[in-house]
Each structure stands twice: as structure tokens, then as C-alpha cells.
Amino acid sequence: MQDPFNAFSDVSVRIEGAANGPLAGLRFAAKDLFDVAGHVTGGGNPDWLASHPPAARTAPVIQALVDAGATLIGKTHTDELSRGIFGENAHYGTPVNPRAPNRVPGGSSSGSAVAVAASLVDFALGTDTGGSVRVPASFCGLYGIRPTHGRLKFDAVMAQAPSFDTIGWFSRDAELLIQVAQVLLGMKLERPILPRRLIVASDAFAVADPATAKALAPAVARLGDLIGNVAHRALSLAALDDWRRHQVALQGREAWETFSQWIDQRNPRFGFEVAEIFMRGASFNEAELDLAAKFRDQRRAELATLLDDGTVVCLPTTPFPAPLRGLTRSVMRGQRNSLLTLTCIAGLLGLPQLSMPLAELDGLPLGLSILAEAGADKMLLGLALAEATAR
């Protein structure tokens, strides 16, 4: 298979879909964090690839999709060990964003997003720990969902930070996003769902560049018109910068614990920025982690009140469209912080979030996200369907 977009890490991985089933005839790809029996899961790092045996079994989510008729046609590039948000891999290069070839695709589920955006597959599996499905969905102009944490078991998938790791997927339209959800989440969604109330998160919109907020405004207005009951208000009493700071500490430390033994033994090659992110994770002390855990508890209580049954929050998926490729680390550091300031909300509390490709800025895609209480995945999918149907 030709791969002009550099989306795939391995196209020799193929599992034919069942002849019958709701996804029969569809093709999909999986991020190279998902195990496929007989193939080494590479995780975007050549030293990981070289130091691990082939997987013994296939990830249950892949098996479920295959059983439902979809054919797996390859594994896709990822940021190293899923530690990255831009999709620039120092070893394997940057998958090409079909919507903006001189810009990053977003990461870490970079190749999966690109494969879908380039129509090389119908849908693709990614993972989202701190934004790794939502950010590439926004940058590549796709639907992308991060379900409620724990809703899908992270089995036979390379973990990063277990308290935050989720399995997500991308599609080009709401209908297919929902078809996949029906298979993976074991739910039925036959018609649109309108939540009782929409909160437009003013604190989250304030994080976005003004031009991005403005570009998203018509889609927000449409969503408001659809639901009727709209409140513009801050999501949290705490600054979103603090959300991010504590999320980075908790996730970073967990990620370090996941990989530190292998790093110690192997001294692997990483792009400098990846090494820096790992070391930052290692640097948090117990006091900082305790504080972060308390902060998380407080936010959980705060949002439990706000996000009652039937409330949906909308927010920008990313504060800007895809940045240029090859920017300096110091510029990227600032941009990463801005991105995480939005993605950390669902990340810290394990909430479901769905990004919809509803806007553009200077021709570049922008995602509008909807977010709800834990377990409300179906409501988000139903609202996405309602929005798509209403257009």
C-alpha cells in the first residue's frame, strides 16, 4: 500500500472483518499502541519495538470491530509512547495532515487521524490520555471521541497513565462515530438526543485565541438554538491553568512509573522533548501529587453539581488550529500548555468528550467539543447526531 501521508507504522498488519455485521465492508486502522497477535506493538519508538516480543493476543476492541465486520488494514504512527500532542515523531517523521500539509496533524494518535482524514480508512482507533484523540480530531477536521474513563477496558493496549488512559476513535461523520460506539460501548442509539441544558464554558473559551473563539461562535450558536436552554458561564471556580498543572503532575508521574524501569534498563532514544516530558513527570514530589489529588477531588465535587443528568458543556477542542510543522521546542512548549489547558478538563475527571469538526479558521479545521458527566457518552453521541441531522 502506498502511504504518501506517512500515516502507517505497519501495513503488514491485517485482519479481515467478519462477513456479516454492522460494520461489514468498512476498513479501519489502529494506533500502534494496540496489540495485534503476532506483531510487536511499537509505540512510536524504535527501541521499544526492538526490545519487545510480538503480542500474544489481539486487543479486545480490535477483535470486537473485526467481529462486527470491519477489516483492520494497518497500524498507525503515534507520538513516542503516546507522549506528545503534536504528532511530530523524531524517529518516524510527522504524518501529513491532509487538511493542512505544512501543519502538524496533532497527536499522539497522529497516524490514525491522518488515515481517516485522508480517507485511507473509514475510521480508526486511537487512545486519549491527555488529549491524544481530541487534539488530532480538531487539527485534522474529524469527529473524535474520548469515552468516559474506564468505560472501555485498556486491555492489550500500551498503557501510559492508567488513571487517565482511554480508548477513542475517529471518523469523518457523526453516523459512523456512532456505529462504532454501538459496537464498542454496547449501546443502541437510534435517534438524536437533545440534552436538557447547554453550558457554554466561558473559562474554556477564554483560553482559545480570539480568532478561534470567533470562528467557533456560529457552531456554538447553532448548538444553543438546538438545545434551547443555554447558560454562558465558567465551568470551574478554579483557574484552568491550575487544572492543567495538577493534571500534568498526576499524569506525568504515572507515566514515569509506567515506563521508568524500561527506560532505566534500555536507555532508549527519544526526541529531546519526549525525554524532557518524561523527566518532568519524574520530578514531581509527593507533596505536589497530594495537592493535585486533592484538587482533583474538589473539581470532581464541583462538576458533579454542575453536570447533572442532562447537562452538556461546550468548549473549544483546541485553542487554535494546527500549528506549523517544525517549530522550535520553546514555541511548542507554550502551545502544548495552551492545548492541555483545554484537554485537561475531561482528562483530570475522566469525563467523556466528543469533538466535532464544525468550524474553520483561514481554511484550517477547528473542533467544537461537547463534554458531559461520567457515563453520559450516549448523550454526547446523540447530540452529535442531532447537530449533524439538523444541518
Closest distance of CB 273 from its own copies, Å: 5
Closest listed residue to residue 122, CA positions, set 173, 168, 166: 173
Q: Which of residues 127-186 bind its own copies (CB under 8 A)?
A: none
Nearest distance from residue 7's CB to its own copies, in Å? 21
By the 10 Å C-beta count (0-12 exposed, 13-18 middle, 19+ buried), 360 is classed as middle
- Of the candidates 47, 165, 203, 377, which one interacts with its own copies according to CB under 8 A? 47
Record the cell numbers describing residue 136, joined without a space: 488530532
How many degrees, rounded to 5, is the angle at CA 309 between CA 304 and CA 314?
A: 80
Minimum distance between the CB of residue 344 and its own copies, rounded to whole angstroms?
A: 23
**Which CB sits closer to its own copies, 82 or 311?**
82
CA-wise closest residue to 339 among 100, 79, 132, 33: 132
Q: Is 294 part of the annotated catalytic residue set? A: no
The DSSP secondary structure of 311-339, one letter per residue, reads EEEEEESSSSSPPBTT--HHHHHHHHHHH
The yes-or-no answer on residue 132 being catalytic is yes
> From CA 253, how far away is CA 248, in angstroms rounded?
8
Q: Which of 60, 136, 168, 268 binds its own copies (CB under 8 A)?
A: 268
Cell of 278: 518524561
Q: Which residue has the cell 469523518?
A: 172
Nearest to 312 by CA among 386, 373, 228: 373
Q: Does 242 bind its own copies (CB under 8 A)?
A: no
Largest CA-CA distance found in the chain, in angstroms, rounded: 57
Cell 470562528 belongs to residue: 215
Nearer CB in complex with its own copies: 67/276:
276
Q: Which of 9, 110, 132, 138 is catalytic?
A: 132
Which residues lie closer than 8 Å to 335 by C-beta, 6 or more apart?
86, 320, 323, 327
Is the CB of 242 or the CB of 276 nearer to its own copies?
A: 276
Cβ proximity to its own copies: between 167 and 263 the closer is 263
Q: Which three cell numbers stand for residue 8?
A: 502507517
Q: CB of 133 within 8 A of CB of 317?
A: no
From the list 239-247, 264-272, 286-294, 346-354, the region that binds its own copies by CB under 8 A is 264-272
Binding residue (CB under 8 A) for its own copies from 4, 19, 264, 287 = 264
Closest distance to its own copies from the beta carbon of 80 (Å)? 10
Q: Does the protein bind its own copies through residue 276 (CB under 8 A)? A: yes
31 assigned to active site: yes
Q: Edge-to-edge strand order for the sheet containing 27-31?
A: 8-10, 71-76, 27-31, 123-128, 166-171, 143-146, 353-361, 364-371, 311-316, 197-201, 230-233
Q: Would you give the binding string for its own copies spanning residues 70-109, x where CB under 8 A is met?
A: ------------------x-xx------------------
Out of 9, 82, 108, 138, pick the active-site residue: 108
Minimum gap (Å) between residue 164 Cβ and its own copies: 23
Check binding of 197 to its own copies (CB under 8 A): no
Q: Is 271 in the site for its own copies (CB under 8 A)?
A: yes
Q: For residue 49, state whether it binds its own copies (rule: CB under 8 A).
A: no
Active-site amino acid positions:
31, 108, 132
Which residues contact its own copies (rule: CB under 8 A)? 47, 88, 90-91, 263-265, 267-273, 275-276, 278-279, 328-330
